[in-house]
Amino acid sequence: MACIDNREVYISFLRKHLSKERFFHTLAVEREAIFLAERYGVDTYKASLAGLLHDCVKGFSDEELIRLARSYNIPLSIWDLSSPQILHAPVGSIFAREYFGIKDREILSAIWKHTTGDKEMSTLDKIIFIADYIEYNRDFPGVSHLREIVKRDLNSAILFAINLTVGYIMRNNLAVHPKTIEVWNYLIKEGKSVLNEIYT
Ligand SMILES: [Fe+2]
Ligand SMILES: [Fe+2]
């Protein structure tokens, strides 16, 4: 398994391949993920590594992401082909395994699911998904409320985040990714009073 001693290797790779803003975003996601891991009783080492590497291939071109996805046998949907940057999550997960030697399935899962979420998510998956939304550089309407909700309940925070995203998507006549709907339905079924949490 990759160890924290490799941190310099990861940082050096990220510095080289990410924009300055994306690099600092990555460090901020790692910090938020550790904070949430402590709060929700998840392994902070795994949260740290998943946060640090979640966008490891975000600097790659569309062509490179499609090429890597094909070489990793990742099924390409029409969504992936029309917006190849969405592939940075699954491609990043397998890249982390192949390039950095990370074998931990929970870390790889969290990287894989961080953009769209999935119909089944572990607590670590949820932490990375929401840390990506609320890290301290993020500034959008609703983010302060989202930061408050996440202190109380992860599911509610994800539902509120989806609510904000879908609102933006619909106001701008964009398409909603089917995974987003799956995650919404999954959390609504999984939760009991989560909707009350969102609006209180
Ligand atoms: Fe990402
Ligand atoms: Fe990110």
CATH number at residue 188: 1.10.3210.10
Dihedral of alpha carbons 111, 114, 120, 125, sign: positive
| Reported confidence tier of residue 33, pLDDT bands at 50, 70, 90 | very high
Q: What is the secondary structure of 10-69 as a DSSP string?
A: HHHHHHHHS-HHHHHHHHHHHHHHHHHHHHHT--HHHHHHHHHHTTTTTTS-HHHHHHHH
Structure confidence by residue, pLDDT tens digits, 133-150: 999 999 999 999 999 999
Task: Tell me which of 1 and 29 has the higher pLDDT.
Answer: 29
- Residue 5's pLDDT is what? 61
Query: Cα(59)–Cα(175) distance, rounded to whole angstroms?
Result: 24
Q: Report the domain count for the chain.
A: 1
- Residue 1's pLDDT is what? 43
Calculate how far, in angstroms, residue 117's C-alpha sits from the geometric centre of ligand 1. 11
Share of the chain above pLDDT 90, in %: 88
Calculate how far, in angstroms, residue 113's C-alpha sits from the geometric centre of ligand 1. 9
Average pLDDT, the chain: 92
Place of tokens 């001693």: 5
User: What is this structure's pTM?
Assistant: 0.93
Q: How far is CA 152 from the centre of its chain?
A: 20
Query: Cα(128)–Cα(49) distance, rounded to whole angstroms?
Result: 10
Calculate how far, in angstroms, residue 90's C-alpha sits from the geometric centre of ligand 2. 13
Share of the chain above pLDDT 70, in %: 93
Structure confidence by residue, pLDDT tens digits, 60-103: 999 999 999 999 999 999 999 999 999 999 999 999 999 999 99
Calculate how far, in angstroms, residue 88's C-alpha sits from the geometric centre of ligand 1. 7
Domain, as residue range, for 130: 4-198
